[in-house]
Amino acid sequence: MLSKKQLLLLSTLFFISGMSGLTYQVAWQRALYSAFGSDVDSVAVIVSAFMLGLGLGALGGGKIVDKYPNKALQFFCFSEFGIGLFGLISYPLILFIGDIFIVYNLAVVAIVNFLLVLVPTLLMGATLPILITYIARFWKNIGQTTGHLYAINTYGAAIGAALTGFILFNYFGLNIVTIFAALGNFMVAILAYLFFNKAKIEKS
């Protein structure tokens, strides 16, 4: 069974994951604004990609972890690391796509960036059912586990959005902000992996 300290650690990591996720959303919206010249269009692309990605990611992540429940935390680490890798290159990649495809029309730029942002949001969406499955192996109250993790992640997302919009943008450029978010994902992946190894040893 997970101790309270172990559950607190996982909750903290998922809080940081939520912070990084909304930091990306705000930063990518700003980046797309430079490509579209319209804040309405950039918001539409980012929000729709995030909602679709989170939904499909949760669905896919749930199916995968149901098939391999003993690999739950490894899948979580993989997802966080993948999000971080994309985050590192996301800003220059969005600008590059804007420069390449702008010769066509804004619809093409919107579609390409939508598909681009969809990739990391699929991984973001997968993290919740994956982590629920892991914790549920030790805590049998699924409803309480789900509510706890969803709330923690949402709190992190709210803090991340506010921190990015009101503080980080006042001191750092978009590229640096997305790198900060990526470092958050890497930290979550590394600490979760170390935690997994420790938990495995304790269990044996």
pTM across the whole model:
0.91
Tokens of 51: 């909602």
C-alpha distances in angstroms, 159 versus 132, 134, 202? 22, 25, 34
CB 74: neighbour CB atoms within 10 A? 15
Reported as a single tens digit per residue, the pLDDT across 88-135 is: 999 999 888 878 877 777 788 788 889 999 999 999 999 999 999 888
User: How many angstroms separate the CA atoms of 180 and 145, rounded?
Assistant: 29
Is 70 exceeded by the pLDDT of residue 145?
A: yes
C-alpha distances in angstroms, 201 versus 70, 134, 147, 196, 198? 14, 16, 28, 9, 5
Reported as a single tens digit per residue, the pLDDT across 65-94 is: 999 988 998 999 999 999 999 999 999 998
User: How many angstroms separate the CA atoms of 113 and 189, rounded?
Assistant: 26
Question: Which architecture characterizes domain 4-197 according to CATH?
Answer: Up-down Bundle (1.20)
Reported as a single tens digit per residue, the pLDDT across 28-65 is: 999 888 766 667 888 899 999 999 999 999 999 999 99
Instruction: Report the phi/psi class of residue 105: left, alpha or beta, with left for phi > 0 and alpha for psi in -120 to 50.
Output: beta
108 contacts: CB under 8 Å, gap ≥ 6: 101
User: How many angstroms separate the CA atoms of 121 and 67, rounded?
Assistant: 21
Residue pair 28/46 in contact by the 8 Å Cβ criterion: yes
Give me the helices (H) in 37-171, please.
39-67, 72-101, 106-136, 142-163, 169-171
Q: How confident is the model at residue 148 (pLDDT cuts 50, 70, 90)?
A: confident
- pLDDT score recorded for residue 201: 42
Q: How confident is the model at residue 157 (pLDDT cuts 50, 70, 90)?
A: very high
User: How many angstroms separate the CA atoms of 43 and 62, rounded?
Assistant: 28
